[in-house]
Amino acid sequence: MSLLIDVPRGLQSARIYHDRDVFDLEMERIFARTWLFLTHECMIPNKGDFITTRMGQDEVIVVRQQDGGIKAFLNVCRHRGARVCPVEAGNARGFVCNYHGWSYGTDGALQSMPFEKELYRGRLDKRTHGLREVAQVTSYHGFVYGNFDAQAPSLLDYLGEARFYLDIWMEANGGAELVGPPARSMVHCNWKAPSENFVGDAYHVGWTHAAALKAGGSMLAPMSGNAMLPPAGAGLQVATRYGHGLGILYDVNPGAHDTPLAQEILAWQAKKRPAMEKAYGALRTRYYGSHINGSVFPNNTYLWGSSLFKVWHPHAPDRTECFTWAIVEKDMPQDLKQRIANSLHRTFGVAGYWEADDNDNMESESQLSRGHMTRQGFMNAQMGIGGDREDPELPGVVGESAIGETSYRGYFRFYEETMRAKSWAEMPVQDSTWKRQLIEAGSGLDPDPAGEAMVPAQAAA
Contacts of 382 (CB under 8 A, 6+ apart): 9, 10, 11, 405, 442, 445, 453, 454
Burial 173-197 (b: 16+ CB within 10 A, else e): beebbbbbebbebebebbbbbbbbb
Tell me what pLDDT residue 446 has.
62
- Omega within 30 of 0 (cis) for the link into 181: yes
HSE of 42 in the Cβ direction (CA atoms, 13 Å)? Answer: 18
Tell me what pLDDT residue 147 has.
98
Domains and CATH numbers, the chain: 36-140 (2.102.10.10), 160-439 (3.90.380.10)
453 pLDDT band, cuts 50/70/90, is very low
Residue predicted with more confidence, 333 or 220: 333
Q: Vertex 161, ends 158 and 162: CA angle to 5°?
A: 80
Percent of the chain at pLDDT exceeding 70: 93
Tell me what pLDDT residue 232 has.
77
Percent of the chain at pLDDT exceeding 90: 75
Mean pLDDT score across all residues of the chain: 90
84 pLDDT band, cuts 50/70/90, is very high
Residue 328's DSSP bridge partners are 177
Contact 427, 416 (CB under 8 A): no
Tell me what pLDDT residue 258 has.
76
The pLDDT tens digits for 44-61 are: 999 999 999 999 999 999
State residue 141 phi and psi, 5-degree precision: 55, 35
Contacts of 24 (CB under 8 A, 6+ apart): none
Confidence check: pLDDT of 335 > 80: yes
CA distances from 102 to 44, 81, 109 (A): 24, 11, 11
Confidence check: pLDDT of 97 > 80: yes
Which residues are annotated as catalytic?
Answer: 100, 201, 204, 209, 358
Confidence check: pLDDT of 454 > 50: no
450 pLDDT band, cuts 50/70/90, is very low
Burial 84-118 (b: 16+ CB within 10 A, else e): bbeeebeebebbbbeeeebbbbbbbebeebeeeee
Please compute the mean of the pLDDT values over residues 211-227 and round it to a whole number.
70
If phi over 0 gives left and psi between -120 and 50 gives alpha, with beta otherwise, what is residue 312?
beta
Tell me what pLDDT residue 135 has.
98
CB atoms within 10 A of CB 358: 21
Tell me what pLDDT residue 255 has.
62
CA distances from 294 to 7, 165, 201, 221, 298 (A): 20, 10, 9, 21, 11
Residue predicted with more confidence, 207 or 299: 299
The pLDDT tens digits for 103-134 are: 999 999 999 999 999 999 989 999 999 999 99
Confidence check: pLDDT of 308 > 70: yes
Contact 249, 219 (CB under 8 A): no
Tell me what pLDDT residue 256 has.
56
